[in-house]
Amino acid sequence: MENVSYSSELPRDVTVTNGDDDEAFLGDMLSLSQFNVGCEIGKGQFSQVYSATFRPCPFRQVAIKRVELLEMVDSKARTDCLQEVQLLKQLKHPNVVRYLGSFEENQSGQLLIVLELAGAGDLAKFLFSSCQRNARLMTEQAIWRFFVQIASALEHIHSRRIVHRDIKPANVFLTSDLTVKLGDLGLGRFFSSPERLNQCGYDFSSDIWSLGCLLYEMAALQPPFNCFKSNWNALRQNIERCEYPPLPSDRYSLEMQHLVGSCLVRAPTERPNAQQVFHISKTLQLRSILAAKLPEVDPSPTCCHTYSRFE
Ligand SMILES: Nc1ncnc2c1ncn2[C@@H]1O[C@H](COP(=O)(O)OP(=O)(O)OP(=O)(O)O)[C@@H](O)[C@H]1O
């Protein structure tokens, strides 16, 4: 292809060992008066997210996510959601957005969740602005640097028996030094339709499917199953048959293609677990560093950040 170049904006390599930062937790008796709330930095279907500083420690920047508990389908969903927030607070990992605290404001039906601020956008924006817009692919080495962190985060989440449920580039946040922070865990289902609330069969292996989609999208700059999105039947058939265009073999290793393929198999029990994906990707990262193999580039035309799942 013409007028394309290699992606030179490689994310820095980062340590993926577990952090122990209990000081990060802000305590159980939080209220809004303890924060200087700044501007709105994002909006979800059932939430608004604001930047804020913690008054007792003014240099401490956080994100505050406000969700309407009353918009949940039923009171059981509300209770489950509050319980899940408690669970999410136990997650401590350098590549997982930290849940720092939560509180309900004056019985207003609003739950405020205090999160670690990930201030440099997300992987969806990065893929668009650094790759697609400039018609260049990431190097394999850069992909592994991102992906190893994501796989490490998922391994940690699964080891705490939590399913993420919404792994996609828009939920992979970045910090200013391009450290990955996997965010938006688990809670989305509490604000959705009863079908999604039940999410029949959604489990750890479903996250692995999404992880395979994510790895594919980082390489191809488009999700594996979006090519027939105008035709739902064809799309469904492709997902059920696990048929998607191969990654360009002159740019990316066969091992990468194999890892994608092992996550995108129909039978959930045949997919690797998060620990295996982490170890394989770590090995392949080391191999790609040693080989220092720089692929050529090939721009892909479209970008869609929602994955289809067949579960
Ligand atoms: N910890 C964070 N740090 C920085 N920005 C964040 C953080 N969490 C969320 N955001 C921003 O807020 C936006 C809304 O996030 P939120 O999790 O409320 O909704 P969503 O999951 O993106 O959307 P939906 O709930 O409709 O699926 C995100 O797109 C992101 O830009």
One digit per residue, the tens of pLDDT, for the chain of length 311 reads 333 222 223 333 333 333 345 556 666 678 888 999 999 998 887 789 999 999 988 888 999 999 877 666 567 777 777 777 877 888 999 999 999 988 887 777 788 999 999 888 899 999 998 898 888 999 999 999 999 999 999 999 999 888 898 899 999 999 888 899 999 875 655 554 544 444 556 789 999 999 999 999 999 999 998 755 567 788 888 888 889 999 998 999 999 999 999 999 999 999 999 999 999 999 999 999 888 755 555 444 333 333 333 33
Residue type, 80: D
With contact defined as beta carbons under 8 Å apart, do 278 and 117 qualify? no
The residues annotated with a catalytic role in the active site are: 166
The angle, 0 to 180 degrees and rounded to 10, between the axes of the packed helices 274-291 and 204-220 is 20
Neighbours of 66 (CB within 10 A): 18
CB neighbour list of residue 128: distance below 8 Å, 6 or more residues apart: 303
Probe target for ligand 1 pocket from 51, 65, 117, with the most ligand atoms within 8 Å of CB: 65
Neighbours of 82 (CB within 10 A): 14
Neighbours of 159 (CB within 10 A): 14
Question: How far is 191 from 206, CA to CA, in rounded Å?
Answer: 20
Probe target for ligand 1 pocket from 47, 64, 98, 174, with the most ligand atoms within 8 Å of CB: 47
Cα 234 to averaged position of ligand 1 atoms, centre (Å)? 31
Question: How far is 125 from 174, CA to CA, in rounded Å?
Answer: 10
Q: Whose CA is nearest to atom 15 of ligand 1?
A: 44
With contact defined as beta carbons under 8 Å apart, do 282 and 274 qualify? no
